[in-house]
Amino acid sequence: MTIRLRITLWYMGLLILVLVILCSALYSYVRYTTGQDIKNTIDRTVQDIHITQSVDFWRSLQINLSPRIENKQVIIQVVDYITGQVRYTSNLADSGYNLAYPEPDSNLQAAYSKVDINGSPFKVLSVPITLKDNSLVGLLQVGVYTGKEEQILGNLRLILVLASVSVLLIAFLLGLYVSRQALKPLHRVTVASTRIEGGQDLGIRIPRGKAQDEIGTLTDTLNGMLSRLQQAYLDMNQSYDTQRRFVADASHELRTPLTTVRGNSDLLKKLWVKLSADRVEQHHIDLSLEAIQDISDESERMTRLITDLLALARGDAGQIVVKSPVELYPIVAEAARKAALLPRTAGWKNELDIFRTIVIEADRAYLQQLLLILIENAFKYTPSGEVRLSGVRRDHAVGIKVQDTGIGISEAELPHIFDRFYRADVSRGRTAGYGLGLSIAKWIIDEHHASVEVYSKENEGSTFIVWFPIADQSLTVRVEEDDRE
């Protein structure tokens, strides 16, 4: 059963209950007032009848009726319990019908009853006639024709039933229409969900009406959920594409050193097996040393790749970087010294005086690793020109600035440079690497609650500025005291 039909049926049930209560109350009121009118008519008729009751010497009941009753709608019957004589009005005599009356009883009370005289309904009041000593001598019965009232009540019942049925039918059709209109947004939700389930288009959004109601709120919530779902799906696809590209690159990069290691190992094995029986010459030794050097270099490449992957895995596992107050200048100076020893074709300059006396909350090893990643990355993509390390201070923050005049990064690729396994297309095949360095750098930046700004333009170079909050003065004093000790 659909929600639309259930809502309509619930609405109909409540309406039926209300109609039953209202119709019952109306019918009961009309019936009660009609009955009271009939009783009042009977009571007035009884009051208009003057009965003089007495018993003569022969024990005969003398009853005098005045005035004379000529109303055809009223019947009167008087019973004499002493002589058994029954007197009645002419209209009752003409009908040939005698009203039934009870046997004489001292406990007889006035009572109403309903009788049918030749198909005509009457309501009869029976009143006992007593003497002054309360002895029962007769019975007065007055009846009023109630056919018109019964017809009115019957017509009222018919009108109420027909009107109720008509109202219910109209209400049912109207309820279906109203519920259909009210549930249209839910239908749109169902259609959109079905299309999304079929994988047709995650960009579908549910049209929202102007009404600020629960369905509007539901539509906003579902549209927000769909937006997040679409973004998650796009991110997942992008991540899969990046990882597939990385797997291809890593497979190639790992296969190359492994092939070199295996080839040189086989060469050494064959060479020294042959030389075991012959004289060892100098070119044999040179060839062996060259093979060993190749094995060492390729092993170092694989070690760096595995080290980078391990660093990212630790970050994913939720490893927390333990920070403490450290002077920034010695760390930057040490990174600059090591950077000067890195292989490069570009010039190298640094300006570090701004970092003196500055203290930040950091981990020494991770901070130095961050600087070396940025500097090495600048060397890698700067075949000619210059790489510069400097600093900038702003309010309560200090920025470490690594600037180069290399190949730069396109505007389209700039938002993705910190993604794992990402390598700009312009660098693929030109520079060695796996696209992990900047991802590790971003993780270190985030763990230090720092921020990074990147400015780049193709064929003009790139600038990375990492901002660290400066520690308060008390930490600076504490560090200086520790250094003196």
Q: What is the pLDDT of residues 69-82, one digit of tens each?
A: 455 678 888 888 88
Do residues 361 and 387 both lie within one domain?
A: yes
- CA-based diameter of the chain, in Å? 181
Average pLDDT of 81-98? 79
Q: What is the mean pLDDT of the chain?
A: 79
- Quote the pLDDT of residue 375: 94
Most confident of 295-299, 306-310, 429-433: 295-299
Do residues 305 and 405 both lie within one domain?
A: no
Task: With a cut of 70, say whether residue 152 has pLDDT above it.
Answer: yes
Nearest to 246 by CA among 452, 439, 377, 458: 439
Residue 196 placed within a domain: no
Do residues 430 and 454 both lie within one domain?
A: yes
CA distance 157 to 26: 10
Q: Is residue 292 very low, low, confident or very high in pLDDT (cuts 50, 70, 90)?
A: confident
- Quote the pLDDT of residue 107: 82
**Coarse DSSP helix, strand, coil percentages of the chain, rounded to the nearest 5 percent:** 55, 20, 30
Which CATH number goes with the domain that contains 37?
Answer: 3.30.450
Q: Which residue has the tokens 């119709």?
A: 23
CA distance 155 to 170: 22
Among residues 154, 181, 197, the one where a domain terminates is 154
CA distance 151 to 421: 94
Q: Is residue 402 very low, low, confident or very high in pLDDT (cuts 50, 70, 90)?
A: very high
Do residues 107 and 142 both lie within one domain?
A: yes
Range of the domain at 270: 218-316
Task: With a cut of 90, say whether residue 2 has pLDDT above it.
Answer: no
With a pLDDT cut of 90, the percent of the chain lying above it is 19
CA distance 310 to 314: 6
- Quote the pLDDT of residue 282: 65
CA distance 390 to 397: 14
More confident residue, 56 or 231: 231
Q: Is residue 308 very low, low, confident or very high in pLDDT (cuts 50, 70, 90)?
A: low
pLDDT, one tens digit per residue, over 224-270 is 887 888 788 888 887 777 667 666 666 665 666 677 777 777 767 77
Q: How many domains does the chain have?
A: 3
Do residues 260 and 311 both lie within one domain?
A: yes
Helix (H, G, I), strand (E, B) or coil at 188: helix
Among residues 296, 316, 336, the one where a domain terminates is 316
Do residues 436 and 467 both lie within one domain?
A: yes
Q: Region of 395 please: left (phi>0), alpha (psi -120 to 50) or beta.
A: left
Q: In this structure, are residues 404 and 386 in contact, taking their beta carbons and an 8 Å threshold?
A: yes
pLDDT, one tens digit per residue, over 13-37 is 888 888 889 989 998 998 889 888 8
